[in-house]
Amino acid sequence: MPQPENFAKGLSIGIIMDGNGRWAKKRGLPRTAGHKKGAEVFQDITRYCNSIGVESVTFYAFSTENWKRPYEEVGAIMKLFGEYLIKAFDYEKENNRVVFLGDRSALEPKHQKLMNEIETKTANNTGMTLNIAVNYGGRQEIVRATRILAEKVKNGELRPEEITEDLMSAHMYTCGQKDPDFILRPSGEKRLSNFMLWQAAYSELVEMDVLWPDFTRADLDLAIEEFNRRSRRFGGI
Confirm whether residue 159 is marked as ligand binding: no
**Cα gap 194→168, rounded to integer Å:** 18
DSSP 8-state symbol, 67: G
224 in Cβ contact with 15 (< 8 Å): no
The reply, when asked if residue 192 is annotated as ligand binding, is yes
Helix/strand number for the chain, H first, E second: 7, 6
Question: Is 65 within any annotated ligand binding site?
Answer: yes
* Residue 63 assigned to a binding site: yes
User: Is there a binding annotation on residue 235?
Assistant: no
Q: Please tell me whether 103 is known to bind a ligand.
A: no
**So which residues are the catalytic ones?**
18, 66
Query: 69 labelled as ligand-binding?
Result: yes
Residues 6+ apart with CB under 8 A from 210: 19, 186, 187, 188, 219
Query: Residue 190's closest CA among 202, 209, 207?
Result: 207
Q: How many CA atoms lie within 13 A of 6 on its CB side?
A: 1
> Any known ligand binding at 191?
yes
169 annotated as belonging to a binding site for a ligand: no
Q: Is 18 annotated as a binding residue?
A: yes
CA distance 233 to 109: 45
CA-to-CA distance for 172 and 178, rounded, in angstroms?
12
β-sheet bridge partners, residue 12: 56
Find out whether 44 is annotated in a ligand binding site. Answer: no
Ranges assigned E (strand) in the chain: 12-16, 56-63, 97-101, 129-136, 182-185, 204-207
**23 annotated to a ligand binding site:** yes
| Known binding-site residue numbers for Mg(2+) | 18, 204
| Known binding-site residue numbers for substrate | 19-23, 31, 35, 63-65, 67, 69, 185, 191-193
| Known binding-site residue numbers | 18-23, 31, 35, 63-65, 67, 69, 185, 191-193, 204
